[in-house]
Amino acid sequence: GQQLNQSPQSMFIQEGEDVSMNCTSSSIFNTWLWYKQEPGEGPVLLIALYKAGELTSNGRLTAQFGITRKDSFLNISASIPSDVGIYFCAGSYSGGGADGLTFGKGTHLIIQP
């Protein structure tokens, strides 16, 4: 099955730095979602985007739905230790994100002391 192209694969940053990651697809999606997964847990929804061009924030997180509907990015400002984890983008062909999701391979965020 198709997987999204997510980059970077991993990031090593200092606490307090801003983080940016993105996701691209050869297909058009009607919903883009960003999840975070920690060891031994399932993915947790961070932000859902439903409209091309939409820019949505959730605290220090900001995500955008690309106008071509083939890409999305996630920014994290002023990173803190609890931001460590794997971030996944996911696309859905349905408007509400309720059909089976197509996931990227993840961006592993590591914060150096």
Partner 1 sequence: EAGVAQSPRYKIIEKRQSVAFWCNPISGHATLYWYQQILGQGPKLLIQFQNNGVVDDSQLPKDRFSAERLKGVDSTLKIQPAKLEDSAVYLCASSRVGDTQYFGPGTRLTVL
Q: What is the binding site for partner 1 (CB under 8 A)?
A: 1, 3-4, 6, 33, 35, 40-45, 48, 88, 90, 94-106
Nearer to partner 1 by Cβ, of 58 and 78: the residue is 58
Number of H helices, E strands in the chain: 0, 11
Token pair of 87 as six digits: 């971030």
Q: Is the peptide bond before 8 cis (omega within 30 degrees of 0)?
A: yes
Question: In angstroms, what is the minimal distance from the CB of 14 to partner 1?
Answer: 25
Asked if residue 74 lies in contact with residue 22, where contact means CB atoms within 8 angstroms, the answer is yes
Alpha helices (H) along the chain: none
Question: In angstroms, what is the minimal distance from the CB of 48 to partner 1?
Answer: 6
DSSP-derived 3-state class of residue 81: helix
Nearer to partner 1 by Cβ, of 24 and 77: the residue is 24
Cα angle 18, 14, 25 (rounded to 5 degrees) comes to: 45
Question: In angstroms, what is the minimal distance from the CB of 100 to partner 1?
Answer: 4
Nearer to partner 1 by Cβ, of 18 and 57: the residue is 57
Question: In angstroms, what is the minimal distance from the CB of 33 to partner 1?
Answer: 7
Nearer to partner 1 by Cβ, of 43 and 66: the residue is 43
